[in-house]
Amino acid sequence: MIDIPVNWVQKIQNIDWSKVQESVKDYGPAIKVLQQTWSKESLLEISQGKLFVPDSVINEAIAKRIPAGGQVTGVTIKSHANGRMDIRVETKKVGPVELSGEIKEFVHNGDKSYVTYRVRSRNIPEHGLMSWIFSRISLSMAERMVGHIDMPDNLPVSIKHNTITVDYSQALAESDFGKTEYQGHKLTDMIEIEGATPKDGGIEFDTQLNVPDDVKKALVALLKDKEADLQESQADSSASSDQQNEN
């Protein structure tokens, strides 16, 4: 296992694309999962060790995990340059609940995946609500790196005083990303998450992308094909718009 060099994209022109594309055809399911998980930009950031995810992206993911008709109607985070993360929870029963705290650990390494928060409050709300909130925040934060993870009924959440730990290892293992292999290599072994730090407007994740040599070309081809498809789609859309204007 090796880290992708920072300058690997510069070598794209030297690759025999016909051979790469033939190889990729045999691994359609894995490539599909990767396309749904990573953009070109996010993959490059992950490979270089830092991935910045805006609060707006995380909040959008959280919103999709809030069922209609429940007691909680909204959860949003706001990250700050001093490393603090504010959380606002809208509830029907008690109104808004506001918390502030720190991300002490955010880890994914092989089959070990968990997040630990330290809430800076003397008395945090009842444990059931805290488990509900932080389980959804944790999975939403992980999405940009490991794809969508379904919310299980029994996600392990431990609360000791004001420290909350969410273990999402089993939920990740049962996700599409967790169950997918490429040439015998599990996708979950390709990426490591070593930490997360709130910054102004978003969260910066410390990452490591461990990719075997036989996967390198497939990832490069994935980025090239995805970008080509986007450009083609934009060209078709532009042509369609021009035709409508003429009519």
* Rg of the Cα atoms in the chain: 20
Per-residue pLDDT at 224 exceeds 80: no
Mean pLDDT of 211-217: 63
Closest by CA to 110, choosing from 49, 164, 158, 173, is 173
Q: Are strands 185-186 and 112-119 parallel, antiparallel or unpaired?
A: unpaired
| Residues 58 and 203 sit within 8 Å (Cβ to Cβ) | yes
Alpha helices in the chain (DSSP H): 17-25, 28-37, 40-47, 55-63, 127-146, 169-173, 176-179, 187-190, 213-246
Question: At what angle are helices 127-146 and 40-47 packed, to 10 degrees?
Answer: 100
Question: 167-212 pLDDT, tens per residue?
Answer: 999 999 999 999 988 767 788 998 999 999 999 999 999 999 887 6
What pTM, to 2 d.p., does this model score? 0.77
Question: 42-93 pLDDT, tens per residue?
Answer: 877 888 899 999 999 999 999 999 999 888 999 999 999 999 999 999 999 8
**What is the predicted pLDDT for the residue at 238?**
54
